[in-house]
Amino acid sequence: MATQPINHVDVLGSKMAYADTGDGPVVLFQHGNPTSSYLWRNIIPHVAPQARCIAPDLIGFGQSDKPDIPYRFEDHARYFEAFIDALDLQDVVLVLHDWGSALGLDWARRHEDRVRALVLMDFITPIPTWLDIGSRGAEIFRAYRSDQGRQLLIDENRFIEQNLPAGVVRKLTDEEMDAYRAPFSDPATREPVYRFPNELPIAGAPADVWAMAKAYTAWLIETELPKLLFYADPGAFISPAIAARLQAQWKNCTSFSVGAGRHFLQEDHPDLIGSKIADWLPTLDRA
């Protein structure tokens, strides 16, 4: 079942697209790079019977406009916050992945009074050194951040054609790959996909993104907000070992292994993730 944006809202002079289905407490699903709200298409149907499910396309992604902006993290943060304000969302359950997690956690740290709970999966944390992403990961991301980066990510579209399928255990169908390719069919549309790998907080750089990630990582240890953490084996950013450490550090946290997975857990285990979120939401009312 596909969930496609059917709504648009004016945000900072551009239109952002979003899916909006169901009634009840607000659950906001935020994708990262290089995906869109399409990532949640098979998860939302499990949750929509008991919640209002909103899934935005980040500015420059999916069916949202692609304004002429740098697409740095700070740009996405401005649009993300303005989107939430435009819809006047309160008491929100945030379901976050990849760069959507960085945006959502940064916003949640600064607006905790508007957050009901957090659901996280393979989310972004500060990476202390290049050694901490492994030799293959370091090789890939150093190339993306080098003089070759624009050729690799814009001309050759490698994040869509290579990184995306490599982050899924099963083989994505031609229809699914075409859905992910569609927003970036022309090299002129790929600046957002190029920029995000250059923003990944590694060894203190970029300094502003590193500081932001350090701040929300510390906040996650302090906050009492309910948390549901999904992790996979081996995972990408969040391995089973890291998940165990976070479970011990965080307050009011439930962690759940989905089994075999890499980065895009939503593509390998949508029914499991969707049903677990649906089962977990009523526990927030009892709490």
pLDDT tens per residue across span 27-50: 999 999 999 999 999 999 999 999
Go through the domains of the chain in sequence order and give each one's CATH number.
7-286 (3.40.50.1820)
Q: Which pLDDT score is estimated for 1?
A: 38
Q: Which pLDDT score is estimated for 4?
A: 67
Q: Which pLDDT score is estimated for 134?
A: 85
Q: In the chain, which residues have pLDDT < 50?
A: 1-2
pLDDT per residue as tens digits for the range 109-156: 999 999 999 999 999 999 999 999 888 889 999 999 999 999 999 999
Q: Which pLDDT score is estimated for 286?
A: 67
Q: CB of 1 within 8 A of CB of 69?
A: no
Q: What is the distance, to the nearest Å, from the Cα of residue 42 to the centroid of all Cα atoms in its chain?
A: 16
Q: Which pLDDT score is estimated for 215?
A: 98
Question: Which stretches of the chain are assigned E, i.e. beta strand?
Answer: 7-11, 14-21, 26-30, 52-56, 92-97, 115-123, 227-234, 253-261
Give percent helix, percent strand, percent coil of the chain, each to the nearest 5. 50, 20, 30
Q: Which pLDDT score is estimated for 2?
A: 43
